[in-house]
């Protein structure tokens, strides 16, 4: 997977999180950032990888994100490895 595709998936994941009244507060709490800091944080290396790791850490969230965006869960699981500070330790089956 190319970095541009992985970034696009991560940006979609961030929009998905931001649009969800339950996910956004949990994401902000885990990352320690404020809602008004997201734009600046998104420019930091590793932030988009963290967004994907957040989605991947909870299978129901991953499946809902995948379904709503038409992206197979295995593709979402591959995306972090194409980004700075990527982690491929997830074992997601198609």
For the chain, the domains span 3-82
Confidence of residue 90 (pLDDT cuts 50, 70, 90): very low
Neighbouring C-beta atoms of residue 10, cutoff 10 Å: 24
What is the per-residue pLDDT across 40-72, written as a single tens digit (0 to 9) for each?
887 887 889 999 999 999 999 999 999 999 999
Distance, CA of 23 to CA of 92 (rounded, Å): 21
The region that residue 23 occupies, defined by phi over 0 for left and psi between -120 and 50 for alpha, beta otherwise, is alpha
What is the per-residue pLDDT across 19-40, written as a single tens digit (0 to 9) for each?
999 999 999 998 888 888 888 8
The region that residue 33 occupies, defined by phi over 0 for left and psi between -120 and 50 for alpha, beta otherwise, is beta
Cβ pair 54, 91 in contact under 8 A: no
């Amino acid at each position: 997977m190319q970095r541009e595709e992985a970034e696009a998936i991560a940006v979609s994941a961030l929009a998905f999180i931001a649009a969800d009244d339950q996910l956004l507060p949990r994401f902000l709490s885990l990352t320690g950032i404020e809602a008004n800091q997201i734009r600046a944080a998104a420019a930091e290396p590793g932030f988009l990888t963290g967004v994907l790791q957040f989605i991947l850490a909870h299978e129901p969230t991953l499946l809902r994100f995948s379904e709503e965006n038409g992206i197979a869960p295995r593709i979402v699981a591959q995306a972090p490895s194409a980004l700075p500070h990527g982690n491929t330790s997830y074992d997601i089956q198609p």
